Amino acid sequence: MSSDALPESSKSDSPESAVPLSDPAARAGGILEIDLSALAANWQRLVAESAPAEASAVVKADAYGLGVAEAAPALWQAGARTFFVAQLDEALTLRALLPQARIYVLNGLMAGAEADYPAHDLRPVLNSLEELGRWRQTLGARPHPAALQIDSGMSRLGLEARELARLASEPQRAAGLEITHLMSHLASADVPGSPQSEQQLAEFLAARQTLAAALGPAGASLANSAGVFLGPAYRFDLTRPGSALYGINPTPGRSNPMRQVVRLKGKILQLREIDPLRGVGYGASWRAQGPTRIATVAVGYADGYLRSLSNSGEALVGGHKAPVVGRVSMDLITLDVTAVPEAAARPGTFAELLGPDLPVDTVGDAAGTIGYEILTSLGRRYHRVYRGGAA
């Protein structure tokens, strides 16, 4: 999606349309820079960490909010050949971008849309015996690759234990199917030392044994980003990192081995000096304790700058910390820039809201959420700039 796309009405041949618009960066309230070189470097890091298993790339939810149209080709260029998305429509979008990629649909085989998978060379992650049966009916005699997911403790998607036992005793249910991987998903890979990861690994290994006859030579896939860093036992044949590609720390509690991919800059619109006890923002939820300088920045919750960052977020202005004071409103935030040199905080200069010195995980913490939600909430009003990569 181009950020300077105009609504249909402004593209008409009305007299106004003859006037060329100014630079989109000058018009925008926020500028989102996405570093495709950092994305490629993160990919290489995950390839090295996954080896000898293949690393895939999870690009669901518009590549975690970064823009799949730019991220997927950059990942392909870096060497990624296997991709995962959540939804069938995401897979169709990705197919148009990457004609040669292996594309898996995590959410499974959508009823009523079965024919789209073989027609566009897409691979469902089959999540139940019912889906397995429908997939066989769809294919008839023409085999087409798919993955099969078992529930090893997430209680969300995949075959349950009794379905697993049923498939083991009725292996003809999978006869003639090309199951590339048996897979499952870890619930607590990002919790250091969680016993749940070991329990899921044990269940997954047992399921492989149980299904060995039914599935034949299928590979195996268990690890998400954090799972890759749990050690070789978790990597099997194919790893499925998503978040780490985009800069989220896959080793919580330890230093982040990944590079930051996004930088978000909000434009300072105005500055004002306020007196002690004067309120800032809706509900006057913050009051100045002494003479205070406030910078108003043109980014708000409508841009995905979460309202829970009210009085808890932090920005960098000219490299100096500037706390978010008062409530985040729809289109604006207010920063305390009293400690920032005046030259750095002027109308037209930028407050950094995300970036190498303000990682997504830190902002997620401040918002009472996780970096994943910060990235997938990134708004559509930003002027997006893609740097590096092949383009």
Ligand X SMILES: *Cc1c(COP(=O)(O)O)cnc(C)c1O
CA-based torsion, 225, 231, 236, 237: positive or negative: positive
Strand ranges inside the chain, DSSP E? 30-35, 54-55, 57-58, 82-85, 102-105, 122-126, 145-149, 178-183, 219-221, 238-239, 262-274, 279-280, 286-287, 292-297, 314-317, 320-323, 333-336, 350-354, 383-387
d(CA 27, CA 4): 10
Tell me how far apart the alpha carbons of residues 169 and 214 are, in angstroms, rounded to a whole number.
Answer: 8
Site for ligand X in 85-114 (CB under 6 A): 106
Identify which range of 69-77, 88-96, 234-242, 257-265 contacts ligand X by CB under 6 A. Answer: 234-242
Would you count residue 185 as binding ligand X (CB under 6 A)?
yes
Q: Which of 50, 127, 243, 334 binds ligand X (CB under 6 A)?
A: 243
98 or 106: CB nearest ligand X = 106
Contact call for residue 56 and ligand X (CB under 6 A) = no
Closest contact distance (angstroms) between CB of 250 and ligand X is 7
Q: How far is the CB of 83 from ligand X (least distance, A)?
A: 11
Q: How many residues bind ligand X (CB under 6 A)?
A: 11
Checking phi first, is residue 259 left (phi over 0); if not, alpha (psi -120 to 50) or beta? Answer: beta
Nearer to ligand X (CB atom), residue 224 or residue 310? 224
Residues 6+ away with beta carbon under 8 Å from 173: 129, 132, 133, 136, 166, 167, 214
Q: Residue 357 Cβ, how far from ligand X at the closest point, in Å?
A: 23
The yes or no reply on residue 225 touching ligand X (CB under 6 A) is yes
258 lines the binding site for ligand X (CB under 6 A)? no
Interaction of residue 235 with ligand X, rule CB under 6 A: no
The three-point CA angle 145-149-155 to 5° equals: 160
Stretch that binds ligand X, among 13-21, 35-43, 74-82, 241-249 (CB under 6 A): 241-249
Q: Does 359 bind ligand X (CB under 6 A)?
A: no
- The distance of closest approach from Cβ of residue 108 to ligand X in the complex, given in angstroms and rounded to an integer, is 11
Looking at 45, 102, 123, 240, which residue binds ligand X (CB under 6 A)?
Answer: 240
Q: Which of 224, 249, 260, 334 binds ligand X (CB under 6 A)?
A: 224
Residues 6+ apart with CB under 8 A from 50: 223, 228, 235, 239, 241
What positions carry a catalytic annotation?
60, 282
Instruction: List residues near ligand X by CB under 6 A.
Output: 58, 60, 106, 185, 224-225, 240-244
